[in-house]
Amino acid sequence: MRLSISHVTTYTYDSPDAYALLQLRLKPRDGHGQHVHDWTTTITGGTQQLGFDDEYGNHVDLILVDPDTTELTIASKGVVEIEDRAGVVGEHKTFTPLWLYEAPTPMTTPGKSLRKLVAGLKPLPDETELARIHRLSDAVSKQVAYETGHTTAATTAEEALTAGHGVCQDHAHIMIAAARLMGLPARYISGYLMMDDREDQDAAHAWAEIWIDRLGWVGFDAANEICPDARYVRVAVGRDYRDAAPVHGIRQGTGSEDLHVALKVQAQTDQ
C-alpha cells in the first residue's frame, strides 16, 4: 500500500526566543518492508544547520530558529510504500547492540504496578514467546484505557499503568517496560498510522517493538490491539519517547510557546 503523508508542525511564540535549536526526526525509515518514494521537509522561520543519522539509524535534521521569529513552521510531506508483514520487522541492523534495549530508562523503570502485571503473565505450558507477548499486549489494552488529556510527554510507564488511562505513547512505554522485565529487548517506535475513521489527525502515532527469537523485531500496538500492518509507517526508533520524538530541542527565552500539529495520512489512489 502506498500512503501519502502531510505533517505540519507550527510553533508560535508571544515573544521571540533568544536562542532555540531543534532536532527533527520526521523522515520515515527506508527498509524492513517500507520504501520511501519521496520525502521533503520545508522550514519557515528557521534554518537547517545539518543532517545526520543518529546511533539508532534515525535521520535527524538540526534546525536553528531564526532570530526575532514568532512563528516556526515545519512542513513534511511524501509518499511511502508499505508491505504488510503482520508486525514482523525482522533482523537487527543498526549499530546499537540488542542489550541496550534490555535496560530500563527513566520513562520505563518498573514499579509495583508493572511488576504485578508481569507476574500475572507467567509462561503457560508450551507457550511461545510470541504468544506470551500477545497476551501482554492484550493485558495492557484492557488495563489502560485510551483517553487523552490525562498524561503528558513526561508521564512514565509506571504512572500510566497505575492511573489506568493514557495514549499510544503510554501503551508503548508500558509494553517496553514489561517486556524488559521479561528479559526481552524492547524499543519505542514513533511513526504514522492511517486511521480508518478519519484523515485529519493532530498527533503522530507510537508503538513498541519486541525482540522475539527466530523472528527478530516484532511490532505491537496495544493502543489499537493489533500488530502493525500496511497502514503503519515507521519513522524513528529509540529506547523510549525521548530518543524518537518527532521534534525535540532547547530554547532560551521568557515567552510562552504554543504548538499546533496538522497531520493527514491517506492511501494514494494514483499508483
**What are the residue ranges in the chain where pLDDT is below 50?**
none
187 contacts 101 by C-beta, under 8 angstroms: yes
pLDDT tens digits for range 97-126: 999 999 999 999 999 999 999 999 999 999
Instruction: Single out the residue of 240, 228, 235, 234 nearest to residue 88, CA to CA.
Output: 228
Q: How far is CA 193 from CA 5, 45, 106, 206, 239, in A?
A: 10, 28, 27, 9, 20
Interatomic CA distance for residues 114 and 126, integer angstroms: 24
Interatomic CA distance for residues 134 and 130, integer angstroms: 6
3-state secondary structure of 267: strand
Residues, the chain, total? 271
pLDDT at 174: 98
| Domains annotated on the chain, with CATH | 2-82+247-267 (2.60.40.2250), 88-244 (3.10.620.30)
Interatomic CA distance for residues 225 and 30, integer angstroms: 25
In sequence order, what E strands does the chain have? Answer: 2-13, 19-24, 34-44, 46-53, 59-65, 71-82, 88-90, 145-146, 165-166, 186-193, 200-201, 205-212, 216-220, 232-238, 247-252, 257-267
194 contacts 183 by C-beta, under 8 angstroms: no
- What burial class does residue 73 get, using C-beta atoms within 10 Å of its C-beta: 0-12 exposed, 13-18 middle, 19+ buried? middle
pLDDT at 208: 98
Interatomic CA distance for residues 12 and 202, integer angstroms: 16
pLDDT at 271: 52
133 contacts 218 by C-beta, under 8 angstroms: yes
How many other CB atoms sit within 10 Å of the CB of residue 39? 16
Cell 504468544 belongs to residue: 131
pLDDT at 108: 98
Q: Distance between the two ends of the chain, CA-based, in angstroms? A: 9
Interatomic CA distance for residues 219 and 235, integer angstroms: 13
Q: What is the pTM of this model?
A: 0.95
Residue 66 is which amino acid? D
3-state secondary structure of 110: coil
